[in-house]
């Protein structure tokens, strides 16, 4: 059995590659990082450093890699593989479409087995987006639906940034928490679901994608933003969640989303199941051994403030379901105060640009462009006013401190 894993980064190696390799699959990574590709082909294994209540090193064996720029080699691997997965980030998915299209045309000449592609991306509607992208590279009349499955997932595993010191010590090592459950869309598979114990197929995948974004990702982001405001020198997420005022803010936003999700997906979730889920997440956020940073969790403001992502998407769902969204609105305001830096003392360039534009053009202009909140809409105008008022208070409080 063979899995072709697009992306040999943190999620690809620490999560997807790990669980498939331990289930007996040969894992073939596809990446454009020549150093990683060459090292994987030299050693055929790599360590996953588990940082949790119990710390351990897991060796992932029997792996190899193909350079993603060699489209012929990648297409050949896909043509005779058992399944594939992606963990490349939403912005890079478009680079995979041509080679997937090339591979499936080659594959239908070799076998009648469908190819399922497990999409391990934090992206709503990932299956339809990738399906449409691949279709554009197929000849007219090619029937894709019976031979290609696109399987959405909910990625709950938390993986911190690897420091330069760690990278120099062992470029193949990855660090992660112990959590290894991969929630996936049962209906997305065209072939048999892989016999991998950590796969958790669901019938209503949209509900779990939204739960991940609007509870897990939202709560994580609010923890980072409020943690930075509590102490700009604070480095780790576990430090933030230990602050009562930060924990209260994150919990409040998560509870708002939980209430809206129960209304949006009746019968799928209960208030009790959400309560347990939120408590588990807060416990995982507090994992000191993981060493996850406020910078990593909060960075990339343009993406995290985009219309369907964790902050604005959660707000829209709350508004749709009539849920009071005070903590979520506060989280959005806090995001626009976020200036955490990496280990070299630098803001993410895109975040610096967004914050500079916010200072020059005003909060409402930025939120209209980035978040899709439009003051011409009465509900949006009300929310924009609330965000602006809270943002001013947060800035004043931070300045006074």
Cα–Cα distance measured from residue 390 to residue 387, given in angstroms and rounded to the nearest whole number: 5
Residues 298 and 194 in one domain: no
| Residue 335: strand pairing partners | none
Query: Mind listing the pLDDT tens digit of every residue in the chain (401 residues)?
Result: 999 999 999 999 999 999 999 999 999 999 999 999 999 999 999 999 999 989 999 999 999 999 999 999 999 999 999 999 999 999 999 999 999 999 999 999 999 999 999 999 988 899 999 999 999 999 999 999 999 999 999 999 999 888 888 889 999 999 999 999 999 999 999 999 999 999 999 999 999 999 999 999 999 999 999 999 999 999 999 999 999 999 999 999 999 999 999 999 998 999 999 999 999 999 999 999 999 999 999 999 999 999 999 999 999 999 999 999 999 999 999 999 999 999 899 999 999 999 999 999 999 999 999 999 999 999 999 999 999 999 999 988 876 55
The arrangement of strands across the sheet holding 45-50 comes to 56-61, 45-50, 174-176
Total domains in the chain come to 2
Tokens of 81: 């593989």
CATH number assigned to the domain comprising residue 280: 1.10.1040.10
CATH number assigned to the domain comprising residue 117: 3.40.50.720
Residues 75 and 198 in one domain: yes
Residues 378 and 317 in one domain: yes
Residues 190 and 231 in one domain: no
Residues 167 and 178 in one domain: yes
Residues 108 and 224 in one domain: no
Domain termination site, one of 148, 172, 203: 203
Tokens of 1: 């059995």
Q: What is the pLDDT of residue 150?
A: 98
The arrangement of strands across the sheet holding 199-202 comes to 63-67, 26-31, 2-6, 83-86, 115-119, 148-155, 182-185, 199-202
Residues 121 and 24 in one domain: yes
| Residue 293: strand pairing partners | 236
Tokens of 156: 């709950």
Buried-state track 8-22, b at ≥16 Cβ within 10 A, e below 16? bbbbbbbbbbbbbbb
Residues 190 and 243 in one domain: no
Q: What is the pLDDT of residue 399?
A: 67
Cα–Cα distance measured from residue 74 to residue 76, given in angstroms and rounded to the nearest whole number: 5
Residues 229 and 376 in one domain: yes
Q: Which domain holds residue 100?
A: 2-203
Helix (H, G, I), strand (E, B) or coil at 113: coil
Residues 183 and 263 in one domain: no
């Amino acid at each position: 059995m063979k899995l072709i894993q697009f992306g040999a980064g943190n999620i690809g190696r620490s999560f997807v590659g790990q669980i498939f390799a331990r289930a007996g699959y040969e894992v073939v990574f596809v990446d454009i990082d020549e150093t990683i590709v060459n090292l994987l082909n030299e050693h055929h294994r790599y360590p996953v450093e588990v940082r949790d209540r119990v710390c351990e090193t897991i060796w992932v064996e029997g792996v190899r890699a193909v350079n993603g720029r060699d489209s012929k080699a990648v297409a050949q691997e896909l043509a005779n593989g058992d399944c594939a997965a992606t963990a490349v980030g939403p912005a890079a998915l478009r680079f995979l479409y041509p080679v997937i299209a090339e591979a499936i045309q080659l594959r239908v000449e070799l076998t009648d087995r469908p190819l399922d592609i497990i999409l391990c991306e934090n992206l709503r509607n990932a299956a339809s987006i990738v399906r449409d992208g691949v279709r554009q590279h197929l000849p007219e009349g090619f029937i894709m639906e019976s031979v290609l499955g696109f399987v959405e997932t909910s990625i709950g595993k938390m993986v911190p940034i690897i420091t330069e010191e760690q990278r120099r010590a062992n470029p193949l090592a990855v660090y992660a928490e112990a959590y290894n459950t991969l929630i996936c869309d049962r209906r997305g598979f065209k072939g048999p679901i892989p016999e991998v114990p950590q796969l958790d197929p669901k019938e209503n995948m949209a509900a779990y994608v939204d739960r991940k974004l609007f509870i897990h990702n939202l709560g994580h982001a609010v923890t980072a933003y409020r943690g930075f405001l509590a102490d700009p020198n604070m480095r780790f997420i576990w430090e933030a969640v230990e602050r009562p005022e930060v924990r209260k803010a994150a919990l409040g936003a998560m509870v708002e989303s939980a209430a809206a999700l129960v209304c949006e997906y009746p019968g799928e979730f209960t208030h009790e199941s959400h309560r347990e889920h939120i408590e588990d997440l807060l416990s995982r956020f507090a994992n000191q051994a993981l060493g996850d940073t406020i910078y990593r969790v909060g960075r990339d403001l343009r993406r995290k403030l985009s219309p369907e992502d964790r902050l604005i998407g959660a707000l829209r769902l709350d508004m749709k379901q009539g849920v009071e969204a005070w903590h979520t609105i506060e989280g959005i305001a806090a995001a626009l105060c976020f200036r955490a830096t990496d280990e070299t003392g630098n803001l993410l360039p895109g975040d610096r640009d967004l914050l500079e534009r916010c200072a020059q053009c005003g909060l409402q202009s930025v939120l209209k462009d980035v978040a899709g909140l439009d003051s011409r809409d009465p509900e949006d105008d009300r929310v924009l006013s609330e965000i602006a008022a809270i943002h001013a208070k947060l800035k004043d409080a931070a300045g006074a401190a």
